């Protein structure tokens, strides 16, 4: 059985409920002849008269009245589903999901998010944090912040900030051990991250400054960069930092750089990454602009 003409069903339900062709026409935004024509099409489909005009108005057989009532219930269900879908679409339009490494989120992005919320209160920002860079390519994220060369297949990337590595420590700890040269690291406690690829940061930096043979008095190892930097802030030793992760701590003086020497991170710089699109959603454009402004204020941008 083919589907009845939808316009005819709408006309029948409206006329039965309003008991008026003219009011039904006004509600549906058409003319009275259009309502009559739609009813005739529906009658041809069912092969019977559905509504009879009488001196007292309209007359419907009981089964037609039941059919019209069921149509009313179905139309209300469709209307409710449409309204819910519209609300969901509107919310989705303003929802921005960002895939990001946990340490970058904790050490750089989250402390700045209040400024983004004040500038764009209509955007519902959601962070999906991970410790595995492979998770940043997940398709349920609108954008990701990744470390690399800026080349990801099928994606558009915008440079966000450079990523340099160098030692940091608390002012109190540096007063205790009196570092005057890199050689003095032999008397220090060095804090390292015991996870790939961060576990090579100290060796990479020492190689770059020509001090590969120097070993500290002791090592302290932590599971991630956040814990290592907190340990350095607490005065437990000297940690190897990544420039975005310590910009706030350096600005406040909680951490200082005992040496000006630094080197590039083997993983590359930070980029905002999203799928290529000729019509980028407004929420992504606004987030990208805000990120660039924050990075420029920190002096990270190249």
The 10s digit of each residue's pLDDT in 61-94 is: 889 888 888 988 888 888 878 777 765 656 567 8
pLDDT at 299 over 70: no
pLDDT in tens, 169-210: 999 999 999 888 999 999 999 999 998 778 889 999 999 999
Question: Which stretch of 3-12, 27-36, 84-93 has the lowest confidence by average pLDDT?
Answer: 84-93
What integer best gives the mean pLDDT of the chain? Answer: 88
Angle at 105 between CA 292 and CA 114, to 5 degrees: 65
pLDDT in tens, 228-242: 999 999 999 999 999
Q: Full-prediction pTM beyond 0.85?
A: no
Are β-strands 155-161 and 218-222 bridged in parallel, bridged antiparallel, or unpaired? unpaired
pLDDT in tens, 48-69: 888 887 777 778 888 988 888 8
The structure tokens listed for 157 are 């990337």
> 39 vs 298, which has greater pLDDT?
39
> 40 vs 3, which has greater pLDDT?
40
Mean pLDDT, residues 35-53 taken together: 87
Mean pLDDT, residues 83-108 taken together: 80
CA–CA distance, 42 with 4 (Å, rounded to integer): 7
pLDDT in tens, 119-154: 999 899 999 998 888 888 888 899 999 999 999 988
CA 86 vs CA 80, 81, 217: distances in Å: 10, 9, 64
- Which helix (DSSP H) or strand (DSSP E) does residue 155 occupy? strand 155-161
Residue 113: the pLDDT is 94
């Amino acid at each position: 059985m083919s589907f009845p003409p939808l316009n005819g069903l709408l006309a029948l339900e409206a006329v039965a409920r309003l008991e008026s062709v003219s009011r039904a026409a006004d509600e549906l935004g058409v003319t009275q002849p259009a309502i009559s024509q739609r009813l005739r099409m529906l009658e041809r489909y069912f092969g019977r008269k559905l509504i009879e005009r009488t001196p007292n108005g309209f007359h419907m057989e009981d089964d037609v009245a039941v059919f019209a009532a069921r149509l009313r219930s179905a139309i209300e269900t469709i209307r409710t589903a449409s309204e819910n879908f519209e609300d969901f679409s509107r919310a989705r339009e303003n929802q921005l999901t960002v895939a990001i490494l946990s340490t970058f989120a904790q050490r750089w992005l989250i402390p700045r998010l209040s400024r983004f919320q004040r500038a764009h209160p209509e955007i519902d920002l959601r962070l999906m944090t991970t410790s595995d860079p492979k998770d940043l390519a997940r398709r349920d994220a609108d954008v990701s912040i990744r470390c690399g060369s800026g080349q990801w297949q099928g994606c558009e990337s915008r440079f966000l900030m450079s990523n340099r590595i160098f030692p940091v420590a608390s002012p109190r700890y540096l007063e205790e051990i009196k570092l005057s040269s890199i050689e003095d690291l032999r008397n220090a406690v060095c804090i390292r991250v015991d996870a790939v690829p961060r576990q090579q940061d100290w060796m990479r930096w020492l190689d770059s400054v020509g001090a590969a043979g120097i070993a500290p008095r002791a090592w302290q190892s932590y599971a991630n960069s956040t814990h290592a930097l907190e340990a350095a802030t607490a005065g437990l030793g000297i940690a190897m930092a990544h420039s975005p992760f310590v910009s706030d701590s350096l600005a406040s003086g909680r951490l200082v750089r005992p040496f000006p020497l630094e080197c590039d991170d083997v993983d590359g710089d930070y980029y905002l990454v999203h799928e290529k699109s000729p019509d980028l959603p407004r929420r992504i454009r606004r987030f990208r602009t805000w990120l660039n402004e924050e990075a420029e204020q920190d002096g990270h941008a190249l």
